[in-house]
Amino acid sequence: MQQLLLLATAVSFCLFTGCATTRVNSTATMNFASNNVIAHRGAFKKNGFPENSIASLREAIRLGCAGSEFDVRMTADEILVVNHDPHHGGMDIESSTYAQLRSHLLSNGEELPTLETYLKAGIQANKATRLVLEIKPSPAGMERGQLLAQRVWEQVKKSKAARWVEYISFDFAILTKLRALDAKVITHYLNGDKSPADLKTAGIQGLDYNYKVYQQNPQWIADAKAMGLLLNVWTVNESTQLKWCISQGFDFITTNEPEYLLQLKDR
Ligand code: MG
């Protein structure tokens, strides 16, 4: 009986310590901020940084935002770059080489960031801020969009940044491609034309819609919560709208005013 008791105690101890170790290993040192602030294209506005620059990413991390959003496209020579618009310095990104594009600097002197450089900066000394990676639909069509999804996923893996990254896209097929590549990725859909039930069925974890979509479909907020989906909203900058989003209990609010929203959350 005493031996059995000792064995049970040892098993309990191992299970307990085993769980603790697993928890530490699985989340490794990640400790995401508990606020709901996603800096849209980084925290660029207040300090006059270029949107989607490494400076704006670092500022979002310095502020302790729960996430920093950025946009990814692919050049003609299949280099992944971080830029919102389909053009940079008057050049079309998809039909220009990276060598051509990098010759035009951002307004703060940075080169057009590659995804590799951006991820490297994003995981450096950062345990609190998610990297919210938007894959832009390709103007060349769905096939290139699928290639883009594949290349982005490969780069995130190569950069060992998967624990920081959540994916967003207006292109539903890009998100389903990511899910097919890796069942562990976290994806959020941006386009506002699918119900929470549609997303749940497709294995998409979150809806990230314009705030007007939620105001037109208020039931989607309750439905998303009931289904355990992540609830995100973009791009909310005005005080009244920000307060409305806070009152609705969104998990994340994407904003050009992260400093203001952080301050609202502190009150
Ligand atoms: Mg974006």
At 217, give phi and psi (nearest 5°): -130, 65
How many angstroms does the Cα of residue 9 sit away from the middle of ligand 1?
Answer: 52
Q: Is 92 exposed, middle or buried (0-12, 13-18, 19+ CB in 10 A)?
A: middle
118, 81 in Cβ contact below 8 A?
Answer: no
* Per-residue DSSP letter, 114: B
Q: Residue 107: pLDDT above 60?
A: yes
DSSP alpha helix (H) spans, the chain: 2-27, 54-63, 98-102, 115-123, 142-158, 172-181, 196-202, 211-216, 219-226, 239-248, 258-266
Determine the average pLDDT of the residues in 225-240. 97
List, in sequence order, every residue forming a beta bridge with 82; answer none if it has no partner: 72
How many angstroms does the Cα of residue 23 sit away from the middle of ligand 1?
Answer: 32
How many angstroms does the Cα of residue 40 sit away from the middle of ligand 1?
Answer: 7
How many angstroms does the Cα of residue 82 sit away from the middle of ligand 1?
Answer: 10
Is 21 part of any domain?
A: no
Distance CA 178, CA 185 (A): 7
State the Cα angle at 30 between 225 and 259, rounded to 5°: 70
Least confident of 21-25, 38-42, 174-178, 179-183: 21-25
φ/ψ region of 192 (left if φ > 0, alpha if ψ in -120 to 50, else beta) reads: left
At 110, give phi and psi (nearest 5°): -70, 150
How many angstroms does the Cα of residue 59 sit away from the middle of ligand 1?
Answer: 17
How many angstroms does the Cα of residue 8 sit away from the middle of ligand 1?
Answer: 53
Least confident of 11-15, 141-145, 228-232: 11-15
Q: Residue 4: pLDDT above 60?
A: no
Q: Residue 11: pLDDT above 90?
A: no
Q: Which band of pLDDT confidence, cut at 50, 70 and 90, is reported for residue 28?
A: low
Cβ-proximal residues to 111 (8 Å cutoff; 6+ apart), any chain: 102, 105
User: Looking at residue 30, what is its pLDDT?
Assistant: 87
Is 46 part of any domain?
A: yes
How many angstroms does the Cα of residue 1 sit away from the middle of ligand 1?
Answer: 64
Q: Residue 193: pLDDT above 90?
A: yes
User: Looking at residue 44, what is its pLDDT?
Assistant: 98
How do residues 44-64 score in pLDDT, each as one tens digit? Answer: 999 999 999 999 999 999 999
User: Looking at residue 178, what is its pLDDT?
Assistant: 98
Is 243 part of any domain?
A: yes
Q: At 120, which CATH number?
A: 3.20.20.190
Q: Residue 26: pLDDT above 90?
A: no
CA-based diameter of the chain, in Å? 81
Nearest CA among 80, 160, 158, 167 for reference residue 131 = 167
Q: Which residues surround ligand 1, an ion (CB under 5 A)?
A: 71, 134
Distance CA 152, CA 146 (A): 10
Which amino acid, residue 195? S
How many angstroms does the Cα of residue 177 sit away from the middle of ligand 1?
Answer: 19
Q: Which band of pLDDT confidence, cut at 50, 70 and 90, is reported for residue 248?
A: very high
How many angstroms does the Cα of residue 234 sit away from the middle of ligand 1?
Answer: 9
How many angstroms does the Cα of residue 73 sit away from the middle of ligand 1?
Answer: 11
Q: Which band of pLDDT confidence, cut at 50, 70 and 90, is reported for residue 29?
A: confident
Integer-rounded Cα Rg, in Å, for the chain is: 20
Q: Residue 21: pLDDT above 50?
A: no
How do residues 197-222 score in pLDDT, each as one tens digit? Answer: 999 999 999 999 999 999 999 999 99
Which residue range(s) make up the domain with 215?
31-266
Determine the average pLDDT of the residues in 62-73. 98
Is 22 part of any domain?
A: no
Is 4 part of any domain?
A: no
Q: Which band of pLDDT confidence, cut at 50, 70 and 90, is reported for residue 72?
A: very high
Is 235 part of any domain?
A: yes
Q: Are strands 252-255 and 37-39 parallel, antiparallel or unpaired?
A: parallel
Tokens 């290349």: give the residue.
151
Distance CA 35, CA 3 (A): 49
Cα(first)–Cα(last) distance of the chain, in Å? 58
Q: Residue 254: pLDDT above 90?
A: yes
How many angstroms does the Cα of residue 39 sit away from the middle of ligand 1?
Answer: 10
How do residues 154-172 score in pLDDT, each as one tens digit? Answer: 999 999 999 999 999 999 9
How many angstroms does the Cα of residue 191 sit away from the middle of ligand 1?
Answer: 12
How many angstroms does the Cα of residue 160 sit away from the middle of ligand 1?
Answer: 22
Nearest CA among 84, 78, 158 for reference residue 117 = 158
User: Looking at residue 212, what is its pLDDT?
Assistant: 96
Is 62 part of any domain?
A: yes
Is 233 part of any domain?
A: yes
Count: domains in the chain? 1
45, 257 in Cβ contact below 8 A?
Answer: yes
